[in-house]
Structure 1
Amino acid sequence: MNQLPTLSDIEAAAVIVYGAMPPTPQFSWPLLNEAVGTEAWVKHENHTPIGAFKVRGGLVHLARLAAQRPRLPGLVVATRGNHGQSVAWAARRHGLPVTIVVPHGNSVDKNNAMRAMGATLIEHGHDVQDAREHAVALAERLGLHMVHAYLPDLVAGVATGWLELLRARPALDTLFVPMGIGTGFSGAVAARQALGHGVRIVGVVSEAAPAYLSTWQARRAVEAPVRPTIADGVACRVPEPAVVALMLDHADDVIAVGDAEVAAAMRLYFHATHNLVEGAGAVALAAALKLKDDRRVRGREIGLALTGGNVDAPVFRGVLAESLP
């Protein structure tokens, strides 16, 4: 997909989204502002029905898919969790069966949540790329519809959250956006372009999954191995071609944060806001803390995407006890 959704596309997607959930809030928290050293507005996508931003895209894609192909035999998805939850939650509204492939060692709580939504769960491979290749093979063999992690409907749906934030806080100077497969980043760019807004967009990756950072630096797509990370939701090994093009054209910067920085951001969110945040959901704040003396943060009004709160209890206990990572 090379063409971004327009304002009318995003507003049409919002009609579908708001038929299932209200807009999420954005709050500025005094203790968090004190730590970052400027006025920060947190977009609370952990307040969706699945505790993550991706539900917006799932709702839009499944509503349109069910209308266009009412006799679909079923769906298959590859995921670390939030994309799968998004599809499973939306598919249940349309009575569609879902098979979800996750890598071995995936979040126990996310796996349990997807099963509770009625999905059939399969564990395969060491990372989400392995799971994706297995899911594609299943789709071909069983005649199922593969819901890829990057689709135009998903971007339009996700962009509705960014539209909410930019309309609520039109003076924002910089957005910090986690980069996994790239729907969140693409949605942020789409909302900015649709509104003609001048906000800077800084993509944030994990040091353990540097594919997009390496791509940004090389100015061409670079595949990079993924190491175990607390921010598993942004653990991308192979960059999405459409996202590469958008990033090179529209990102103001791409930076990486380490697991210790992510864990510190998770603790800060808990102590300053009493919100539970998963690793990938905390990378935007980790980046803002890392750049607190940078001109893009110091004295600016910044936006932070809290993209999800689905963290396993043992992991979070370790984060709070400062024994993880």
Structure 2
Amino acid sequence: MRLDLDRIRAARRVIDPVYLDSPLYRCEPLERALGCRIGVKLETANPVRSFKGRGTELVVHGLAERGERAAVCASAGNLGQALALSGRPRGIDVTVVASRSAPAAKLDRIQAFGARLELVDGDFELARSHAAELAKQRGVRLVEDSLDVETCEGAATIGLELAESGPFDAVLIALGGGALATGVGHVLKSLAPGTEVIAIQPERAPAMARSWRERRVVTTDSADTIADGVAGRFPIPEVLDDLLQVVDDAVLVRETSIIAGMRLFLEQAGLVVEPSAALGLAAILEDRDRFAGRHVATIVCGSNVDLAAYRGWLSA
């Protein structure tokens, strides 16, 4: 396991407090709708509206300590915002490579936070390849979400907060590159081993979940899901190794269930969330018997949505 519990505890002293101790509360209207006790861990109550700032704070702290002044990353939108905002007060020049098809709201906010934005005509995997080329050409740090242990250990501080607030029977975690699931999972298996750690991915972007099930890297030709934040096609072997040690189950859910989860968050909790953040509720909706009567926490990992697309999904 690449992650270290002592380093995760120490990370709290480095991460800007604006990202720490995010709200965790019981949502009774959701409980009545779903038939289980639900704790909502709200990772959107911060300036970048996602959990990514926890990891980028660690990355940028290390860059500044070493005197490095620039970094490049590929992003579906949320990592780029977080890296830009973390880098700005420390004088780090941040370039973000993203797909031209990424939500416009995310792209606009990346630039608003001071990053240079380069767009590619393709999906996230093409953006990742282009970012690696740029970093090599410029001789600067390539920040790779989930592969860079700082991104995992920053996310893992969420696990510390959940462990302190539990116990929970299960924690539901969106699965994309794997930083959130491996980080939170590592802490829970260390401090609350009785908690079931369940990672959730869309059926239409199943690469990491399939890899977990088959215990080997499985790639896909496409990742055609509204949950753009978890739409990778090429799992990272090192991250899969970590995931296999800390996740109890990897679940795939339908697009219709993701939309239903988003609608429930809006109608029952007053929360506008992006599709990736609704994966936990989607998993409950598709297997109510599994969660009936249990105490479950779901991590609301992001709320950066294109409003036109959001309205379209919920009105369908």
TM-score tier, shorter chain, comes to: over 0.9
Q: Residue 176 of structure 1 contacts residue 288 of structure 1 at CA under 8 Å; is this kept in 2?
A: no
Structure 2 unmatched ranges of 5 or more: none
Stretch moving more, 101-110 or 209-218: 209-218
**Structure-1 residue corresponding to 2:34:** 36
Which of the residues 163, 171, 176 maps onto 1:166? 163
Q: Residue 30 of structure 2 contacts residue 264 of structure 2 at CA under 8 Å; is this kept in 1?
A: yes
Structure 1 unmatched ranges of 5 or more: none
**Structure-1 residue corresponding to 2:4:** 5
Query: Partners of 1:243 and 1:195 in 2: how far apart?
Result: 21
**Structure-1 residue corresponding to 2:310:** 316
The offset of 1:19, in angstroms, is: 4.0
Which of the residues 299, 302, 306 maps onto 2:296? 302
TM-score, length basis structure 2: 0.96
| 2:40 aligned partner, one-letter code | V
Cα 1:63–1:26 change in 2 (3 A) is: same
TM-score, length basis structure 1: 0.93
Q: Residue 75 of structure 1 contacts residue 96 of structure 1 at CA under 8 Å; is this kept in 2?
A: yes
**Structure-1 residue corresponding to 2:25:** 27
Q: Residue 5 of structure 1 contacts residue 152 of structure 1 at CA under 8 Å; is this kept in 2?
A: no
Query: Partners of 1:75 and 1:307 in 2: how far apart?
Result: 24
Q: Residue 98 of structure 1 contacts residue 119 of structure 1 at CA under 8 Å; is this kept in 2?
A: yes
**Structure-1 residue corresponding to 2:222:** 226
Stretch moving more, 281-290 or 109-118: 281-290
The offset of 1:109, in angstroms, is: 0.3
Q: Residue 224 of structure 1 contacts residue 238 of structure 1 at CA under 8 Å; is this kept in 2?
A: yes
| 1:276 aligned partner, one-letter code | V
- Give the match's secondary structure for 2:81: helix
Total equivalences in the alignment? 315
Query: Partners of 2:209 and 2:19 in 1: how far apart?
Result: 34
Which of the residues 196, 202, 222 maps onto 1:200? 196
Q: Structure 1, residues 229-264: CA drift from partner, whole Å, max 9, x if none?
A: 111101010112122112223321111111111011
The offset of 1:284, in angstroms, is: 1.3
Q: Residue 2 of structure 2 contacts residue 242 of structure 2 at CA under 8 Å; is this kept in 1?
A: no
Q: Residue 63 of structure 2 contacts residue 69 of structure 2 at CA under 8 Å; is this kept in 1?
A: no
Stretch moving more, 82-91 or 243-252: 243-252
| 1:167 aligned partner, one-letter code | E
Query: Partners of 1:303 and 1:225 in 2: how far apart?
Result: 32
The offset of 1:48, in angstroms, is: 2.1
**Structure-1 residue corresponding to 2:144:** 148
Which of the residues 45, 70, 76 maps onto 1:74? 70
The aligned runs of 1:124-273 (5 Å cut-off) are 124-150=120-146, 151-169=148-166, 171-273=167-269
Query: Partners of 2:10 and 2:197 in 1: how far apart?
Result: 24
**Structure-1 residue corresponding to 2:92:** 96
The yes-or-no answer on 1:58 pairing with 2:52 is no
Query: Partners of 2:180 and 2:109 in 1: how far apart?
Result: 22
- Give the match's secondary structure for 2:288: coil
Query: Partners of 1:211 and 1:243 in 2: how far apart?
Result: 13
Q: Residue 16 of structure 2 contacts residue 57 of structure 2 at CA under 8 Å; is this kept in 1?
A: no
Cα 1:59–1:225 change in 2 (3 A) is: same
| 2:251 aligned partner, one-letter code | I
Q: Structure 1, residues 255-297: CA drift from partner, whole Å, max 9, x if none?
A: 1111111011001000111111001111111112212111xx1
The offset of 1:308, in angstroms, is: 0.5
Query: Partners of 1:197 and 1:219 in 2: how far apart?
Result: 21
- Give the match's secondary structure for 1:24: coil
The offset of 1:20, in angstroms, is: 4.4
- Give the match's secondary structure for 1:16: coil
Q: Residue 209 of structure 1 contacts residue 225 of structure 1 at CA under 8 Å; is this kept in 2?
A: no
Cα 1:274–1:19 change in 2 (3 A) is: closer
Query: Partners of 2:300 and 2:93 in 1: how far apart?
Result: 30
Query: Partners of 1:154 and 1:247 in 2: how far apart?
Result: 14
**Structure-2 residue corresponding to 1:123:** 119
Query: Partners of 1:20 and 1:172 in 2: how far apart?
Result: 25
